[in-house]
A = this chain, B = another copy of it.
Amino acid sequence: MKKYLITGFSGFVSRHFLDLLYDKREDCEVLGVDVNPPSLDITKYSDRFPIEFKQVNLLEKEEFQKIVKDFLPDFVLHLAAFSSVSYSWQHPTECVLNNTNIFLNVAEAVRAINKPCRILSVGSSEEYGNVDKSMLPLKEDMELRPVSPYAAARVSQELLSRVYVDGYGMDIVLTRSFNHFGPYQDDRFVIPSFLKRIKAIADSKEETGVIETGDTTIVRDFVDVRDVVKAYHMLLWEGTPGEIYNICSGQGIALSKLIEIMADIVGVSVEGRVNPDFVRPDDNRVVIGSYEKINKHVGWSPAIPLEKTIRDMLSTKE
C-alpha cells in the first residue's frame, strides 16, 4: 500500500489524479495539502482509499515538515505552483517564492524523514524559452533560455532537484509539462477562458461574436490533463531519478486555430480581436515538444484528441 502526498491538492490536476487512482482501484492512501481547501467533496473517493486534506502554506516550512513527518509518504506529487506566466510578470517575487522556494521546502521536508520517498517535481515547457524553429520539437537535453520570471523559477527548481538527486542521493523525477487543459480548469487559463467567452456568445443566441485575445499567432502544444496525470502516475512508479521528462502531445496548434475549433464545436462563428494589453513581453513563439523519452522509459503517450477534451470541458458541470 503506497502513501501519496499531493501538494497543490485543490487544483484541477490533483482532482484528475484522484480520479485516476479511483478508477484504477489502487490500494493506496492519500493526503492532500494546499493553501486553499478543495472545492470538491473528497469523501467521494473514500470508499476506495483513505483520503485526507490539510490546509497549509508550503512557505511555512516547519508546519509542512511536521505534516510530512507524521504522514511518511512513499510518493510526493508536487503540483503546487504559481503557474501563470502573466502573473509572474506582475509579481516576480511571489512567483519565485511559490515555485522555487516551496519546492525547496518540499525537498527538505522529505530529506528530513530519511526514508525512501519519491518526489515528482513538476516543471514546465516554458523553461525552454524562445527557441529557433529549427530546434523543434523540443527535447529534454536542449539548452534552456527562460524568458519570464515563471520560467526562470521553474528552471531554478529543476537545478535544485538535480543537486538534491546527485548531492543528497534523493529520489526525484522531473517533468517539463506542456500546456495541459481539461475539465475543471480555472478560467484564468487560456482555453477555459476562450471557451467561456465562446459559450457566452452561443448563450446570447448570436451566431457570431468577437472575443478579445492576446497574440493568437503563437503556437502551443496542448495535452489533456487526464493524459498528464497518467504520465505523473507512471513516472512515480517507473521513472528514473534525476531524469527529466517532457509531457506533451507532440503537436503544435496556433491559438487562432484553437479558437476556430472551439467555435466550431460550440456552433458559432468567432472573431478574435487582439488587445495589446494581453500581449506578453518576450512570449515564446512556438512551443512543440517531443515525448519520445517518456515513451521510451515508461511507455507513455498521449491518447486523448484535442476535440474530445474540448467537448468534455463543455459537457462537464462542476
Contacts and interface: CB of A to CB of B under 8 A. Distances in A.
Contacts of A282: 166-167
Contacts of A153: 156
Given A93-B105, A100-B100, A152 B146 contact: no
B167 A159 contact: no
Secondary structure at chain A's binding surface: helix, strand, loop or mixed? helix
A281 interface: yes
Interface residues of A, number: 31
Interface string A157-168: 001101100111
A129 B93 CA distance: 26
B156 A159 contact: yes
Interface of A: 61, 89, 92-93, 96-97, 100-101, 104-105, 107-108, 143, 146-149, 151-153, 155-156, 159-160, 162-163, 166-168, 281-282
11 contacts: A61-B93, A92-B163, A93-B101, A96-B100, A96-B104, A96-B160, A146-B159, A151-B163, A152-B160, A156-B156, A156-B159
